Every structure is written in structure tokens, then in C-alpha cells.
Structure 1
Amino acid sequence: MRPPAGPISRPHRDRNQHHPPSRRNFRRHGRTAHSRRREASSSEYTDTKTTERQRQRRRTTDKASADDATDLGASTIDTKKPCRIRQDGQEEDLRQRFGLDQDQDYIDNLTSELLKKYPKGYKREFNRPFTNYPKNVGFNEDLSAPQPDFIEGPEMLQYDPFPVDEHVPGAALYKDDPRSITLPQIAGEWKGPSGDMREARMQSAYDGAAMVHARTQALAYMGKSDPTGHAEITTFTTDGTNLNLFAHYAAETGDGTLEYHQYPVSSINLTGTHQGHKDGRRSLRNAQDYAKTQSEELRDQLKEHYKQQRSSDLHPIAEGVPTLPVPGTEPLHAYENEDDYEVVEHQPVHQPTPPTSGQKRRAPSSHGSSHGSSHGSSGHASKHRSYWKKDAMSGRYYHKHSDGSVSWLDDDEEDERD
């Protein structure tokens, strides 16, 4: 019997109930999952290999660029300027647009890489004019004040209590600054990669002459001077590629005029080799150490001289002039052979009084024949003249001892004295 026409109802299936897929579907799903895993693994491997290749290519490019820069003699100091690409394809310097200093990075790298920094009390200044330096002292006629790019030295407070700015003209570099650098011994001038090193050398010569003049004045204050041709002042110039060191001294000509000389000491290439960079750095720091030592020695000499000068002013000593007697005191030689006399009576120190008849006693004049025979000698008479004092009221002779007691000379001895 055929079933009736119409839709056939099927039993309801729960969707939450798990039904295993057919074998065909399982094989299809399994092959797809495996394929996906294989593709993912292959893609990850490809990405890793590509990234490593890019890194290697980047390192090779950077190394080649660095080698090219070294071969061209470029400075090891980073002087790149921040810029951006304009619509016309040209670079625009942001430092120039906003008025920034293009050499600031250069200076920061120079000071941090080459120069040595010292503790507090020994300070440095950058591009600051000498506002306290005297004008028209022989080498700076109608010239502006020196203004080195770099200078360092002890602070003025390190010279206390010596008022160095009052006694040594040009010692303190900056006016109305109690912490001004004072009597420095080293300065430096630098130019950018496109700067003129001949101009830097001329500027360093001017800086060196100013420091030599101040040192000469400080030594003259103590009555000293450096030997002829002796150099203690150092300057340096650099453009980041070459470092030049100079020594400075003053020499007197036949007519008595001082000439200031600049003598080249060394010139080192900082970028040719790594050893050259190390040699330049060491040379500059050695020059700094030497200048610091010379500054501190000069400072200590000035302070010691000032101390001795003040001491001599407070306690003047006149050589060859005898000391005048002071009222109420005795001569220093008044107590020689004091054992020959005994204490008779205590009297006020300020007013000796002659003794009464009941108080007078004889003081032994000798201990033996040798002493007695010497009373008539001139030496003994001289000793008596310095030992005995005559009382103005009674006319008698007395001697005042260190303990305040007074001895009176007997009448017989007075007759012998007369």
C-alpha cells in the first residue's frame, strides 16, 4: 500500500546533540585543517626568513655608510640636523626655521667626549666675554674683550681671604660675580665642520695673551716672574676633525715692551683612526690637568703671600734697633748672678720705699775671695750699674726682684760704688 501523498514528517533533532560527521566530511575537514596548519607554518617560516634578510641587509648598508664616511674624513661627532621633506622634494632645516643653534649638538658631543669635568669649585664657562678685564693694557688696544668658546679655572671664592680682584688687575674675568673664574690657565676655541680654523687660532692667541698678562700681574704682586720663554698657559682649537694645542708666554724686547707669543705644541687628527681619537682625547685632558695644577699652585702662593704680609703689618720688626725700656719693667740682663743677694723686704712694685733703721740688713756681697777681688774690675762695675737703681727720694740704691721683693744696697757698698 502506497503512503498517502503530502509532506513526510521527520523526527525532530536536537541541535545541541553531537552527531559525528560522516566519513567523507571527516576526511574533508581533516585535510583542510592539516592544510591550514601547513600553510601557517610555511608563512611563519617565510616571514622569519624575510625579516632576518632585511636586518642583514640593513646592517650591511649601515656599515658601508660608516666606512664611506670614515674614508671621506667625516667627523665622528654627530652633526646631523633635524629636517623634513617639503612638497618640492627639498629638505627643510628645522633648526634654521625655529632659530636654533646648529652647533649645539656639536658642542654637547665635544664637551662630553673630549673634555674632562672637575668637581665643584673649579668651574667652566662657554662663550662668555671677559667683562672685568682691563682695557688698553698693551695687547688689547681698541679691541673687544676676549670671549673664548671654552675656559675653566678656580672660582674667586677659592682665593679667600685674599681679595684677588683688588690686588691683581684682570684676575677675575667677570664683573660683579663672586664665583667668577679667576686666573685661568687654559681656554679653547672651536669651529663647526665648515668653520675657519685660522680664525680660531687668532682668537686663541688673543685668549692666551689675556691669561698670560693676568698671570704676570699675579706674580708681580708677589715680587716674582716666570723665567724668560717659560710657558704655563695653554689653548686649543678644534673643528671636530683636528685638535691643535698651543702654549703661550710673554718675552720682553730690547726697549722693554712685552711681546706675547703663541707656540704650537701638537696637532692630532681625531677621526683618521681610533688610536688618533684616543691620543687627542688624552692630550687634551692632560693639558686640562696641568692647567688645573698651575692654577691651584698660583692660588696657594697668593694666599700665603697675603697671609705673611698681613702678619708683618700687624707685628712690625725693626732690625738693628735696640729695644727701648718700658716704665715699670726691668732690663732682660738684670737677673744675672741674682743668687749673690738675698731678699730683704717686700715692697710695692710701683713705688720703692727706703727701709728704716730697724729694717736695714746687710746683703752679702761675695761668696769667696775670687768674687771679692773682682769688685774693682770694670766688668763688675758695669754689672752694678745695670743691676742697681737709685731711688730719687732717698738717694739710695735698690734692686727689685721678679717676685716683687726689693733689696737695698748697704752704706759701705754705696761708698764703694761711688
Structure 2
Amino acid sequence: KNGILTPQLSRPPRNLKWLQKRLLQPRVDSDWTLTGAYYQRWYDFPEYAPFAQGLEQPCPGFIQGFSLEAYIDTDVEYLSAAVCYRSGGQSLTLPHMAGEFAVGTLEAEEAADARHGAALVYMRNTTLLHAKMRKDPEDVAVIITFISDGLFIRFYAHYESKAPDGKIVYHQYPILAANLAASYDEFLRGVAMLRNCQDLAFVLAMETKNHLEQY
């Protein structure tokens, strides 16, 4: 009803192979600083988002993005759907990745992950529209989330598309997974994919931030 699709109903993004290659590429040292938060509810997320009506505010297990203080001469807090939360001197804006930590099965967390992925897509697209930036191509995903129980980690691509009836739907499609307990090499592979996911999220957040500061 809210337009958020399960992995079984989601279509693979057109850039699926690129995403897989991006997560599997060799690691390089990263030089970035982002604000991270665990189980922080998004009190500033707009309740009027079409898929959010009737649902509690997003509260992913992990999230990363820039704080409000990172923006120079830009009142990003007045931009619709740009701020997740601001409280007690802490804030987080325009995240491009999120993660869930499963106590039971990974599948049990997929519904929450789908909602949080949809929220990230909505925030990005709303910001791109406001700043007159070019929207991501149709059926192309740039938002990635993960679910892990400490033994396995699974990555998902998120994007929006139009259903035949014209309504916006949000896809959640599995990209890659790793069995962290299978071997040391597989553990390193899973960690590398997570770090590459964070790198991609940083690049996208930085591009958006730079454009907003020049807008």
C-alpha cells in the first residue's frame, strides 16, 4: 500500500553490475569524515512523505552523513527532507547509506531496511529537485544499505520507479552478500564491501553538499 517493495517484488537496477563491481573493488585508504549514529530516530524526517504515512519515523541501526555544521553559508536545515535530526548539538543531513543489525534472521530486518532505503531515496531525490540538480537516471540505484547479524552481511540497492498506475514505488534489490564466519578471506571481503559502500556514500553526499553550497 505504501509503495515500498520487498526484494522478491523489486526489479534489479540497470546499474547492478556496476554496483557489484564498485563494492568488490580493491580497497584504498579513505580520507573522509562523516557523522555516524546508531539507532538515532529521524525526528525531522517529513511525515508527509507518501510512503511514510502511518509508519513510525525512521530509526536505522546505523547511518552516516554530514552534520549541519559542515555546510558553509548554507541553511540546509530549511531544505525539505534534508535533515534527519538535530538535537542537543548533534545533527545529521542527507545520508546516502544506512544499515541494520539483525538479532534473528537477516530476512526479518528486510522490511525495516526497505523503509529506511526508501527514506534515503526520497531525501536524495527531493534535494536534487530543489537544487535543480540532474536526477539519477531511471531505474539506476545509488543508495545502498546493509543488514548484518555478525555472521553474514548482505547489501541492497534502493531506487524509485513509476508503477503502471503512475504511483511511485521503491525497490530494494539484493546486490551482494558475504559469510563473515566462513574464512578469514571472506571476512575481509565483507569488510571491504562495507567500507566501499561507505566510500560511495561519502562521494555522493559530498557532491550533493558542494552543489547545495554553490546553489
**Aligned counterparts of 2:191 and 2:97: Cα–Cα separation in 1:** 15
Among 219, 233, 257, the alignment partner of 2:128 is: 219
Shift of 1:226: 1.3
Tell me the TM-score normalized by structure 2: 0.81
User: Which residue in 2 is equivalent to 1:190?
Assistant: 101
Aligned to 1:134: 46
Q: Distance in 2 between matches of 1:201 and 1:118?
A: 31
**Structure 2: stretches of 5+ with no match in the other structure:** 1-28
Paired residue type of 1:147? C
Query: CA-atom RMSD, angstroms?
Result: 1.9
The answer to whether structure 1 residue 173 and structure 2 residue 84 are counterparts is: yes
Whichever structure has more strand as a proportion of its residues is 2
Moved over 3 A (4+): 116-120, 175-179
Three-state SS of the structure 2 residue aligned to 1:173 is strand
Determine which structure has the larger helix proportion and give its number: 1
Residue 178 of structure 1: CA displacement?
Answer: 5.6
The alignment of Structure 1 onto Structure 2 pairs a total of residues equal to 186
Check whether the contact 1:155–1:182 (CA below 8 A) recurs between aligned residues. Answer: yes
Identity %: 30
- Identify the match of residue 158 of structure 1 among 63, 70, 73: 70
Contact 1:156 1:178 in 2 (8 A): no
The 1-side partners of 2:89 and 2:204 are apart by 21
Instruction: Tell me, in whole angstroms, the C-alpha distance in 1 between the residues paired with 2:125 and 2:166.
Output: 15
Report the 3-state secondary structure (helix = DSSP H, G, I; strand = E; otherwise coil) of the residue aligned with 2:161: strand
Q: Which residue of 2 aligns with 1:292?
A: 202
Are the aligned partners of 2:86 and 2:92 in contact in 1 as well (CA < 8 Å)? no
Aligned to 1:34: none
1:200 to 109, 114, 124: 109
Listed one character per residue, the Cα deviations across residues 200-228 of structure 1 (whole Å, up to 9, x for unaligned) are 11111111100100001110012231110
CA distance in 2, matches of 1:161, 1:255: 42
Contact persistence 1:157–1:178 (CA under 8 A): no
**Aligned pairs for 1:7-406 within 5 A:** 120=33, 122-167=34-79, 169-176=80-87, 179-192=90-103, 195-223=104-132, 224-305=134-215
Contact conserved, 2:32 with 2:202, CA < 8 A, in 1?
no
Give 1:199 shift.
2.1
- Relative distance call for 1:303 and 1:256 in structure 2 (3 A) is farther
Distance 1:177 1:118, change over 3 A: farther
1:159 shift after superposition: 2.0
Q: Which has the larger radius of gyration?
A: 1
